[in-house]
Amino acid sequence: MLYIVIDGALFMVKEGRPVPVPNGFIAEREKEAERQKGLTDWRNAQREQQDPYFNAATIWGASRGRYTGRWRFHSAAVTRDGSICYTMKNALVTALFRYDPAVNEDRRLFHKSDFHEEGMTALPDGRIVVALRDEKGVVDLALFDGEMKFDGYLTGGDSIDQLPTASLADGDRVLYSSRGIARTEQGVVAALGPSSLFSVAVARREVTEVATEPEKDLLLPKEGADGSLFYIRSSYEAPFRPGLLQTFKDALLFPVHLLFAIFGFLTVFVKLFDRRPPKPLGPQAVPPQESAWRTILGKAVDTRTVEKNAGKGEGPALVPRSWELVRRSPDGAEEVIARNVAAFDLASDGTVYFTNGYKLYSFDGKDIKTVLKEDLMERVFCA
């Protein structure tokens, strides 16, 4: 069984085409949200027309009772029996589901406002390893049983341990990406280091470094049945540090920026207390549009650059060419399988399925074949 995520929605691949995974809970919640939106829109619109600048939309970002955004897929763990545990998120809540393709039914395990995960994977015995984020921004791997009851942490430290995957060679081993957190004296996150690859032995809670490269992010590690290591390698984006010239330029233009800020404040102040009939300049003048940015493997990606990312004659790609799918054999030999790779997974027979965001490919060790074409494919999962 092959699953793909297309623009935030989960699909199965059947006979070469994507079929939506049914989710009654999400469908019912979105239907109810649209119904509530229709009941309250007239009242909210009347209030905002009376004062298009100083209302709930400008203060809080949306009026009370408004729709909190569409539900989007976030993470998944495919079990050995072919079922899939996956999370869906909106602006407020994370919901966890288990889908069984044998009976084509899903079951909601829970939905919470304080469950913030950065990836999950299933062990052969049915337990689930989840990368959990706390209120300080630290992400650690946590172990849950098959019914998602907490069973302790596997990793710790001031770091972001994310994108865990169970090894196909050792059922007790989980690989993951990890990056250190640099903080100020006040404890505020100042920067994130490059992402390296680690593994943890679940039974012994023993952590081992697997791979690291200077000035590179190594993401989404997976280990094949023969011990080969697969991962995505991309360029590390160091935190911006203004140079001496930029600092001098900012200091020189500070009076100009201050004048513009004062002028903007006075303009808004005048509009707030202007008693003339309101003009259609408020926050509802332009209908809200979905952001062009997507989070791919924990990194922000601008979908407006898809044509620029691809090589000549290769078509659009969701990520730049610096995102490489790498295979490292047990003897240390390294091979770049493909570029512009946004996500991939390993099938039990050793086939690698990967996507550039617009095409899904398969790689059997020799040849690369196109499986299907769809826009905005974000993740791939093999059962």
Position 367 pLDDT exceeds 80? yes
CATH number reported for the structural domain that contains residue 124 in this entry: 2.120.10.30
Query: What's the predicted TM-score (pTM) here?
Result: 0.81
Q: Both 96 and 156 in a single domain?
A: no
Query: Which one of 62, 89, 114 terminates a domain?
Result: 114
Query: Which one of 222, 240, 258 terminates a domain?
Result: 240
Identify the burial level of 14 via C-beta atoms within 10 angstroms of its C-beta, where 0-12 means exposed, 13-18 middle and 19 or more buried. Answer: exposed
Q: Both 231 and 201 in a single domain?
A: yes
Q: How many residues does the chain have?
A: 383
pLDDT band at 325; cut points 50, 70, 90: very high
Q: Within a domain: residue 288?
A: no
Q: Within a domain: residue 56?
A: yes
Query: Which one of 94, 114, 134 terminates a domain?
Result: 114
Q: Both 247 and 236 in a single domain?
A: no
Q: How far apart are the first and last CA of the chain?
A: 5
pLDDT band at 282; cut points 50, 70, 90: very low
Position 44 pLDDT exceeds 70? no
Position 46 pLDDT exceeds 60? no
Q: Both 157 and 268 in a single domain?
A: no
Q: Both 250 and 308 in a single domain?
A: no
Q: Within a domain: residue 287?
A: no
pLDDT band at 32; cut points 50, 70, 90: confident
Q: Within a domain: residue 128?
A: yes
pLDDT band at 302; cut points 50, 70, 90: confident
Q: Both 45 and 100 in a single domain?
A: yes
Q: 294 Cβ partners below 8 Å, 6+ apart?
A: 300, 301, 303, 318, 376, 378
Q: Both 222 and 269 in a single domain?
A: no
Position 38 pLDDT exceeds 80? no
| Average pLDDT over every residue of 361-382 | 93
Q: With b meaning 16 or more CB within 10 Å and e meaning fewer, what string describes 287-320?
A: eeeeeeebebbbeebebeebeebbeeeeebbbbe
Q: Provide φ and ψ at 365, rounded to 5°.
A: 105, -15
Position 61 pLDDT exceeds 90? no
- Range of 61's domain? 1-114
Q: Both 124 and 233 in a single domain?
A: yes
Identify the burial level of 25 via C-beta atoms within 10 angstroms of its C-beta, where 0-12 means exposed, 13-18 middle and 19 or more buried. Answer: middle
Least reliable range by pLDDT among 17-21, 24-28, 141-145? 24-28
Q: Both 249 and 222 in a single domain?
A: no
Q: Both 204 and 269 in a single domain?
A: no
The total number of structural domains in the chain stands at 4
Q: Within a domain: residue 192?
A: yes
Position 379 pLDDT exceeds 60? yes
